Chain A
């Protein structure tokens, strides 16, 4: 189940940031990805809310600056 979430998150972030899927993995962080700007971050958060049907609070949004952190928060919701 968690692997499934990881794969969906990687695909989603790659799609939203317009990056090749191969360049987004469990270790990717905002610092690694030039396209992950503050606007990119907002778009990622909005699409997570759309795709995973969750509502993220500001503290979570602030903390979700890596694939691992995103997957962690989504697992709490699951």
Chain B
């Protein structure tokens, strides 16, 4: 059997980039070393592939560069192309405070701040008693000021390493008896950082101390490297640091996966239901059933984070469903799953069907299966899917599923917590659609109410998330992180609309966003998107009609908007044309469309009720 690196090279020779990427993922995860990272970069850099390019500035108090190759390689394997630029050594404060610094000239999408405890507050490391309390308070104030200045001057997302506990305690076990001993001081430093970060949009704390603890404090650092090269990490810690960065960077840049598809036999429970029967399968609090219970626990945690769950299993549906309905130890039940493909289809076919039913791309799926042959089949047929390489021992499955960076979230909106219920309601809507006689009957039967709200601090996270995640009905696919969206709203000359849709099956939540630049004579639509949950129900017409009416009210005679085609936004391709716009300009495949507001309205779909709570100012 040939190695995954050789498999990747064969695919590259045939210009099959997605297949090569899938093979390289297995190769890299099996041994995430500097040499492996270089091997991945040598093969993937510069290839013509759809990727999200992001500039990342790293302000730091130590040599962090050896992490870069690992971070770049791992990000590239998830379609995120990072340009990493390190600030000068220990000059992060000057870079933030000087408006003409290289940081601002670089115009980063993301700023990472990696500062060691001993560089920020030397008094904690060289502890001589509780007088360090004041130094910690000063350090929190200084750091808070830096973050505020950075937030004011840059729209970048900011990722701040929290501060590691000292490796050795000056007072030994006495330290654990005191509230403001060394450990207590670092805790209050981190509490101060978290409290200040929470007051501003787009600032995310990276749990560096927790990472150090999980790797093992004694093994994480290599003091000799710190003393000779100002690089504090041991060789074995480079990948954990890179991976932790990725776990924040993927969700912060919106490069995430939305759904987990699990196999059943020997993945969700031990044994084979068709052979062992419901009494014979292993699931519960004891070994070995506890391994599978732990997997179910992770799935519930992911579901609360807004990740969609689905099943792909080769089984008799009745046998498998009986376990969900009747086995007393099961933590996950049918209602937690948005789609279930149980039958005798090949797994790739089941995954295709699931993606179709959920209306998401194959590149949004993570596939979990104990059977290496099934994993290989999915990788070969559907290289876009992230296939987890589970360890041989089922006791390791849960941990493997927990550490997938593409399933991390840095913010969870209320809609995410409800996602499971919303998909169940979606299944009922689909059933109704097949019974309604005409499309208009169907629209009417839905009893839709649409509400428009301006950008507020409460919906900022969700609106930003929609711009970053929506691919299909998205006219310009411009991505706005929270900070840049907030900055845009503050700049003036712009209206931001959030669109909420309710129907007789429930509340779909915030599902539409429009951003409009409001000139005196002409309003230009910068962003117009709709979550796939409500595509095809004329909500988009209602949104456009609302914007046109407001533009006219404000005295504008023209409504304009670009359509930028992408590989995924086919559903929106004829949107402007369908609503009576005419194309007035074309550039690089994109088209500028225009509507004369003095001549015609855009009709409101009369089967949708309108509830306008407050108008955007």
Checking B35, B63, B236 against A12 with a beta-carbon cut-off of 8 angstroms, the contacting residue is B35
The segment out of B223-231, B400-408, B414-422, B508-516 that lies at the interface is: B223-231
Asked if B235 is an interface residue, CB under 8 A from chain A, the answer is: yes
Chain A residue with the shortest CB-CB distance to B233: A46
Residues of chain B from 27 to 53 with CB closer than 8 A to chain A in the complex = 33-35, 38-39, 42
Q: Given known contacts A46-B235, A50-B236, A58-B228, is B35 in contact with A15 (CB within 8 Å)?
A: yes
Distance of A43 Cα from B70 Cα, bound (Å): 11
Distance of A15 Cα from B33 Cα, bound (Å): 12
Q: How far is the CB of A73 from chain B (nearest CB, A)?
A: 15
- B224 and A16 contact, CB distance less than 8 A: no
Asked if B325 is an interface residue, CB under 8 A from chain A, the answer is: no
Distance of A38 Cα from B230 Cα, bound (Å): 12
Q: How far is the CB of B161 from chain A (nearest CB, A)?
A: 20
Chain B residue with the shortest CB-CB distance to A17: B38
Checking A16, A38, A39, A49 against B38 with a beta-carbon cut-off of 8 angstroms, the contacting residue is A16
Chain B residue with the shortest CB-CB distance to A61: B228
Checking B39, B225, B231, B236 against A15 with a beta-carbon cut-off of 8 angstroms, the contacting residue is B39
- B33 and A18 contact, CB distance less than 8 A: no
Asked if A76 is an interface residue, CB under 8 A from chain B, the answer is: no
- A47 and B35 contact, CB distance less than 8 A: yes
- Count chain B CB atoms within 10 A of each CB in A18, A39, A46, A61 and give the residue with the most: A46
Distance of A47 Cα from B33 Cα, bound (Å): 7
- B228 and A50 contact, CB distance less than 8 A: no
Asked if B66 is an interface residue, CB under 8 A from chain A, the answer is: yes
Q: Given known contacts A18-B38, A49-B235, is B33 in contact with A42 (CB within 8 Å)?
A: no
Q: Which residues of B contact A38 (CB under 8 A)?
A: 229
Asked if B65 is an interface residue, CB under 8 A from chain A, the answer is: yes
Asked if B238 is an interface residue, CB under 8 A from chain A, the answer is: yes
Q: Per-residue 0/1 for B213-241: is the Cβ within 8 Å of any A Cβ (1 yes, 0 no)?
A: 00000000000110111010001101000
| B: contact size bracket | 10 to 19
- A16 and B34 contact, CB distance less than 8 A: yes
Asked if A51 is an interface residue, CB under 8 A from chain B, the answer is: yes
- B235 and A16 contact, CB distance less than 8 A: no
Distance of A61 Cα from B235 Cα, bound (Å): 13
Q: How far is the CB of A30 from chain B (nearest CB, A)?
A: 15
Asked if A3 is an interface residue, CB under 8 A from chain B, the answer is: no
Chain B residue with the shortest CB-CB distance to A8: B35
Checking A39, A47, A49 against B65 with a beta-carbon cut-off of 8 angstroms, the contacting residue is A39
| A: contact size bracket | 10 to 19
Chain B residue with the shortest CB-CB distance to A42: B229
Q: Which residues of A contact B231 (CB under 8 A)?
A: 42
Q: How far is the CB of B388 from chain A (nearest CB, A)?
A: 23
Q: Which residues of B contact A57 (CB under 8 A)?
A: 224
- A43 and B34 contact, CB distance less than 8 A: yes
Residues of chain A from 3 to 52 with CB closer than 8 A to chain B in the complex = 12, 15-16, 18, 38-39, 42-43, 46-47, 49-51
Residues of chain A from 42 to 78 with CB closer than 8 A to chain B in the complex = 42-43, 46-47, 49-51, 57-58, 61-62
Distance of A50 Cα from B240 Cα, bound (Å): 13
Q: How far is the CB of B221 from chain A (nearest CB, A)?
A: 13
- A18 and B66 contact, CB distance less than 8 A: no
- A16 and B35 contact, CB distance less than 8 A: yes
Checking A39, A50, A61, A62 against B33 with a beta-carbon cut-off of 8 angstroms, the contacting residue is A50
- B34 and A46 contact, CB distance less than 8 A: yes
Distance of A58 Cα from B227 Cα, bound (Å): 9
Q: Given known contacts A43-B66, A61-B228, is B34 in contact with A50 (CB within 8 Å)?
A: yes
Distance of A18 Cα from B39 Cα, bound (Å): 9
Q: Which residues of A contact B228 (CB under 8 A)?
A: 58, 61-62
Chain A residue with the shortest CB-CB distance to B33: A50
Chain A residue with the shortest CB-CB distance to B238: A46
Q: Which residues of A contact B229 (CB under 8 A)?
A: 38, 42
Checking A42, A50, A62 against B35 with a beta-carbon cut-off of 8 angstroms, the contacting residue is A50
Q: How far is the CB of A60 from chain B (nearest CB, A)?
A: 10
Q: Given known contacts A39-B65, A46-B66, is B35 in contact with A51 (CB within 8 Å)?
A: yes
List 9 A-B residue pairs with CB atoms under 8 Å apart, sorted by A's residue number: A39-B66, A43-B34, A46-B34, A46-B238, A47-B34, A49-B235, A58-B224, A58-B228, A62-B228
For the A-B complex with A16-B35, A18-B38 known, give 6 more contacts whose Cβ atoms are closer than 8 Å: A15-B38, A15-B39, A39-B63, A47-B35, A51-B33, A51-B35
